Amino acid sequence: MLLSLRIITPLFALLAGVQAAFITDNCKLISHSDSEQNALHLLEPLTNQTFTTEGKEQDYSYIFQVCGDVAGMKDAGLVQKEKKGEKLVRIGNYTNTRAVRGSDWVLLFYEGGEKYDRHCSHEARKAMIMISCSTSTKNEFSVVLEENQKEEGCYYLFELDSSAVCPVIPSKLSAGSIFLIIVFCCLAVYLTGGFLYQRLVVGAKGVEQFPNYSFWSEIGNLSAVSIITYIFVSIYLHFWSFFSFMKQI
């Protein structure tokens, strides 16, 4: 019993260690599912960065981080910052997350923010961050909508462009082209290696530096002769059939 515990405990520690390798696992899903967890893992390259944008009315700015504290506020993944008073309003917790994934986008929800004073039936603020595929290296973060004039279901909508959510394009190299590449590589190695050998070890000069020069030139002469023969024979055969055809008419 004790022995099995001794074996199992480090195994669990190891598993926990592997789990902690994902910073996005700091996000807590409101309701766990594997597909949502995978959508979060896709955002791993965006962690440990803060994204900032101006509000629509310019007197606020918004600060966003993927699965990490923003502006030193515990559990806050997105906050609104008043420019004058430096007042911070929690828009959403990364510990109250949903993540929906499409072919080239991930929609991230941060819920459980500070409650609205007057609007929206005093419900908790929440943020939706639409992360879309972009091949640009710059991650453009912007606010799209501050929907707070409704009875309920208010939200803040943001957009972030990133290559992290782009679909992985499978390699288009067919077996044939891989074979050709290998042949070309072998040829290149043969030519350079042979050339260096002829030049440095044998001490050849001029065209003699080509590897196996006499062998290849023999083959070259042979094929030149055979090509010329082939051309003459085919011209002769064409004329012959043409004349025999004419005679028949």
Closest contact distance (angstroms) between CB of 68 and ligand NAG is: 7
Nearest to 66 by CA among 115, 127, 17: 127
**Any idea of the CA torsion for 132, 99, 50, 57, to the nearest 10 degrees?**
70
Distance CA 7, CA 198 (A): 62
Distance CA 249, CA 236 (A): 21
Indicate the residue among 123 and 147 with the shorter CB distance to ligand NAG. 123
Indicate the residue among 49 and 192 with the shorter CB distance to ligand NAG. 49
75 binds ligand NAG (CB under 6 A): yes
Residues 20-59, one symbol each (x = binds ligand NAG by CB under 6 A, - = not), give ----------------------------x-----------
Indicate the residue among 94 and 141 with the shorter CB distance to ligand NAG. 94
Residues contacting ligand NAG: total by CB under 6 A:
7
Closest contact distance (angstroms) between CB of 119 and ligand NAG is: 18
Query: Which is it for strands 155-162 and 127-133: parallel, antiparallel or unpaired?
Result: parallel
Distance CA 117, CA 122 (A): 6
Please report, as a single letter, which amino acid is at residue 82: E
123 binds ligand NAG (CB under 6 A): no
Distance CA 17, CA 183 (A): 45
77 binds ligand NAG (CB under 6 A): no
For 147, the enclosing helix (H) or strand (E) is strand 141-147
From 96, 97, 162, 198, residue interacting with ligand NAG (rule: CB under 6 A): 96
What part of residues 213-242 is at the interface with ligand NAG (CB under 6 A)? Answer: none
From 27, 78, 80, 112, residue interacting with ligand NAG (rule: CB under 6 A): 112
Distance CA 109, CA 36 (A): 11
Residues that bind ligand NAG (CB under 6 A): 48, 74-75, 93, 96, 112, 124
